[in-house]
Structure 1
């Protein structure tokens, strides 16, 4: 009887503690995201408007609106990401990684694949 009484008190306390831990962890992990903002890692200008609003290329999801596509960071070099996206959406007019434009010769190579 004493075991069931202490167990009935311990379970709600454990649930509250677990909930508090989850909430506080979420608050801690949200801070760095807020600090760096939600800016995309890749920003692409297409030669023609995208046919689809979303596409998967280079293992990441791209969001496109008109001639602009954006995505978070992938694991491949920018030249590779450019070529993979180009296969899905067509000619790319500019490809920017974290604010750095892909050089003209690499962009030409991307579009020729």
Structure 2
């Protein structure tokens, strides 16, 4: 009886640990704000806007935009995003912000 209670206790601890581990990526995304691309528009939009670019949905509200990763290089994703929403002052993926010269080339795509 005691051995059965011990096994049941171990199963509960393992199940709880797995549940916490499964929720960890979602919690990390919530804390970081986003796990994909993010951008700050040079001029805020008057109303929220969505667009499908390279197979993913970009959502912009005010001057903040976000989308899941689409597999494209950040500079390519930035250029497509700028054509749809306008110039940006910041563009980032989970690895970090685009360099200033890449951001300038990205914004040139809007013209």
TM-score range, shorter chain: 0.5 to 0.7
Unmatched tracts of structure 2, length 5 or more: 1-18
Shift of 1:53: 2.2
> Structure 1 residue 34 and structure 2 residue 26: aligned?
yes
Match for residue 83 of structure 1?
79
RMSD after superposition: 2.3
Deviations 1:50-74 (A, max 9, x none): 3542112232101111000011111
Unmatched tracts of structure 1, length 5 or more: 1-26
Shift of 1:37: 2.9
CA–CA distance in structure 1, aligned partners of residues 27 and 61 of structure 2: 26
TM-score (norm 1): 0.65
| Maintained 8 Å contact 1:53/1:65 | yes
- How many residues align structurally? 87
